[in-house]
Each structure stands twice: as C-alpha cells, then as structure tokens.
Structure 1
Amino acid sequence: MTGLSRRVGDVPVLECLPAGAPARGLVIWIPPLGGDKERYTDRLEELARRGFLAVGIDPRRHGERADRPADALFDQVMTSFRTTMWPILGGTVLDAAEVIDAELAIHGLGGPVLAGGVSMGGDIAVALAGIDPRVSRVAAVAATPDWTRPGMTRIGRPDDVIDQGRATTGGQWLRDHLEPLTHTDRYRRDLAIRLDVGAADTHVPGEAAHRFATMLSRGPRRPSIDVIDHPGSDHRQMCHDPQVLTAALSWLVGPSRSGRTAATRE
C-alpha cells in the first residue's frame, strides 16, 4: 500500500493504493464539516489493504482549500447555514465527480465506484450518487438527503434550533439541482445505500433518511436502501464512534446486496 497526495484540477486528493495487485475498484471518502482529506488516512489505508484505490478529498473551503481556520468556518456555517453550507455541499459534489473521472483514467480502472462520508461528507456522497451513475454503493454516517435539515439544532444543544437564514442565488441553484430528496428518480437504478443515523441526533435528524427510504421503496426500479438507527446516539457520538464507522466501511466494500428497499432498524 502506498499513499500519494496530488491535485485533480483544483481539488487536493490523498490516494492510498493497494500494493502488488490492480485495484478492485475506487472508493471516494469525504470528511465532515471542518475535516480534511487526511482525517481518515488510517481508514483509507485499510481500504487499500483490502484491494481498493481509496481517495480522500478536501471539500471546498477545507484543508488545502481553506480560507479560514476550521473552527471559524464551522461558526460561519452555524450562523448562516444556507448561505455558507449549500455552496460547499453542491460545489464538492461536482468536484467529487471530476475526481472520479480523473482517478479512473489515471489508474485505468473500470469500476466499481463506491462513495461515503461522515456528516457533511455523507450528504455529499449521497448527492454524488444522484448525479453519477458510476457510483454503485454509498455509505453515509450521520448524514441526510434533505439539505434543509428541518428542525436542525446546535450540536449538543437539542433545544437550540438554528435559524438557517436564506440561500444565495448560487447556493439555491445547487440545492435545486443536486439535493437527493427532491430528485429521488435519479436513485432508481442498481444502487445500494446505507444510512447510519443517530436516534438522538437533532443536528442532522434521521427522519429525512427514513423518508428518503420510504419514497424509494415505492414505484419501479427500487434501489437497495437501509437506514440503520442507533438508539441514544447524538450527532457527536455518531461522528466519533469507531464501531459505527467500521461497520459502514465494511458494508461499503463488502458483498453486493439486492432486493432490500425498506428501512431497517438496529
């Protein structure tokens, strides 16, 4: 296994390559708000040991692309959520599709392409699958398909509902075109999705994940989608629980599943 930092266009990426054999496929893993491509280096290395080309990216305004410290960006997002977050989400979705183009070409891979992430990174991974049919499996932890996050509260303060403010014109355009919950038709294909949500998470409420699964369980061409509830877990616990992350990653690179469309509970 070898690691390499490079840039794909404007996007800094961290590649972990399997040693001694061609990669079985590509996994793109996206960090949460305030994170960077190095945050999950150990997990990328683990995926490489399992035979995958594992790629972490810096979302817009993160890591090498940061225009301010991570804690200052976090505060800005919490005080002007739609103005700040929606351009980060939508822009990084588009960036991730370009990274997939480049990584498959550079390494001569045909697939499969798998995607995942935590919190904001999971939001991006789910939206990526909606615009890029090469993505066949998605694992998202503490994430949502609903960019409006109804009832979102501050982390650790479940009674403090955030005033999300108004979106910019560009941010609204990105949400209108990329948000998964309003484009469920894009997910009606051979696709498997796992959404791990905290039953006590009021920052990224799990209700939208269940609603998404219910919508996709109706009608033709149903994808496989599992929503895994974690009783008693809030947002911080979900984002930092190594067992949750291990289970999600094991599922992501494990055997294919088919025929499951209803939400499940753990």
Structure 2
Amino acid sequence: MSITFQTRTVNGVPLLLAIPGDVDPPLPAVLWFHGFGVDKETHRKELDQLARAGFLAVGVDAAGHGARRLADLDERQAAPHAQALRTMIELASRTADEVPGVVRALVDEGLADGGRVGVVGISMGGYVVYRAVLVHPAPRAAVAILGSPEWPEGDSPHRHLDGFRHTALLSITAERDENVPPAAARELHRRLAETAPGSIHRYVELSGAVHLMGEEHWNQAMEETVRWLDLHLR
C-alpha cells in the first residue's frame, strides 16, 4: 500500500498526515500525540503503521511543541519535577481542547469520518488522551500509552469517571515506569470495571517494562493499539 505524507496546519495546529493511497476517504481517523519535548515527526513510523492498517493517521504538534515550540521549552522541561509536570499538564490540556476543531476541519475536508475518530498518545500524549476523552464530542476510541489520568493539580481527568463510559479506552502502562507510575491508570480501570462493566475498557501493564521501553515492549504496545483501534473504529 502506498502512503502519502502531508504537512499542513489546521485551525492553527500543525499536523503530519499519513494517508493510505488505496482506500477512498472519508476514513476512520486516528490522532497521534507525542511526548514532552519532541514533535509530530518523532512518530512518523507509527503513523505509517496506522495508515497501512487503513486509518487516516494524524500526527499532532502539541501546544508549545514542534512548529509552535515555546522559546523556553527546554528550560521548562529541565526544571524541577513538579514545575516541569505543571508545564506538561498545561500544554497537554491545551492540546486536548484543540481536538474537536482539528477533527471538524478534517471531516469538512472529506478526509475523516466524524463517527469513527480515535486518539492515541504516549507519555505527555497519554495525558492528552485522558483529557481529550472528556472534550465534546468525545472520540469513539482512545489509547493512552504511559500516561496518567490523575493530575496533581487542576481539573484532573480521573475525577470525571462518567466521561469515560462512552469511549473505548485502552490504557497501556509499564510495570517499572518511574516517570509515570502505572498505579493511577490501573486504579481508573478498576473503578471503570465496577461502574461501567463491559468490553469497551481495557488495561494492559507491560511486565518488566520501563518508561523508555525496548523494542519488544514497544512492538507489543503497538500491536495492542492497532488491534484496539481496528476493533472499535471499523
């Protein structure tokens, strides 16, 4: 399958689109959110993988990153942990709030199927995903990789359990992750299982994995991700 990459800005948000050439639009769309300090180009390989699975794969430069990088982002990232986390959560929240406008523009252009939209994010991008699930209209499917729904300050997503009941949410964590410990995501899914039993929520904790995981664990995470999106966006 041929994949076409396009860089464009939509509603002020820089995007990298991976478009499968052998499938007619509108397509089920997946927005991909990167980690703290990097940009949409970091996951070109994963965008290609999603496009080959038949999705319109959309890499997003988070607020303050990539083509709209803050001049002092490096300094903010190197700040003491609590201060850096505050910056990350602020930028993640702003990025999540932009999702409906980006999706609407892609739908209006005829590229994306508005009824089949998913969001995927890793690390800071996982924080984006937990927030994006609560923004109207909610995505049909979501995958949070190495993120946390429990924020130390502000309007933490874990306080809005009802908002997770209508999105198929997969959370993937690393057992030995010291950057983003898995406990918060694990607890969210325990609560969801009690209050919203069914098959639209899944929790995967990669045994022995760390935050900067190796190839084997990453391949496992991507297999879980593609399978989940295929199940809930087809």
TM-score range, shorter chain: 0.7 to 0.9
Task: Flag the structure with larger Rg.
Answer: 1
Q: 1:77 to 1:52 in 2, by over 3 A?
A: farther
Amino acid paired to 2:19: L
Q: Note the 1:85-234 alignment, pairs <5 A.
A: 85-107=88-110, 109-148=113-152, 175-176=154-155, 179-189=156-166, 191-219=167-195, 224-234=200-210
Amino acid paired to 2:223: A
Aligned residues: CA RMSD: 2.4
Q: Which residue of 1 aligns with 2:4?
A: 2
Q: Which residue of 2 aligns with 1:38?
A: 41
Structure 2: distance between partners of 1:106 and 1:251: 27
Length-normalised TM-score, structure 1: 0.77
Structure 2: distance between partners of 1:222 and 1:255: 14
Residue-by-residue CA offset, 1:116-169 (whole Å, 9 max, x unaligned): 111110111122112234411111211111122xxxxxxxxxxxxxxxxxxxxx
Residue-by-residue CA offset, 1:183-217 (whole Å, 9 max, x unaligned): 1111122x221111111112211111111012112
- Identify unmatched segments of 5+ residues in structure 2: none
Runs of 4+ in structure 1 deviating by more than 4 angstroms, as ranges, are 220-223, 238-241
Determine what percentage of the aligned residue pairs are the same residue. 26
Residue aligned with 1:29, SS: strand
Structure 2: distance between partners of 1:130 and 1:222: 19
Structure 2: distance between partners of 1:76 and 1:98: 32
Residue aligned with 1:4, SS: strand
Structure 1: distance between partners of 2:94 and 2:163: 19
- Identify unmatched segments of 5+ residues in structure 1: 149-171, 258-266
Q: 1:69 to 1:94 in 2, by over 3 A?
A: same
Q: 1:254 to 1:77 in 2, by over 3 A?
A: farther
Structure 1: distance between partners of 2:107 and 2:117: 9
> Contact 2:50 / 2:226 at 8 angstroms: preserved in 1?
no
Aligned-pair CA distance for 1:79: 5.4
Structure 2: distance between partners of 1:119 and 1:224: 22
> Contact 1:126 / 1:180 at 8 angstroms: preserved in 2?
yes
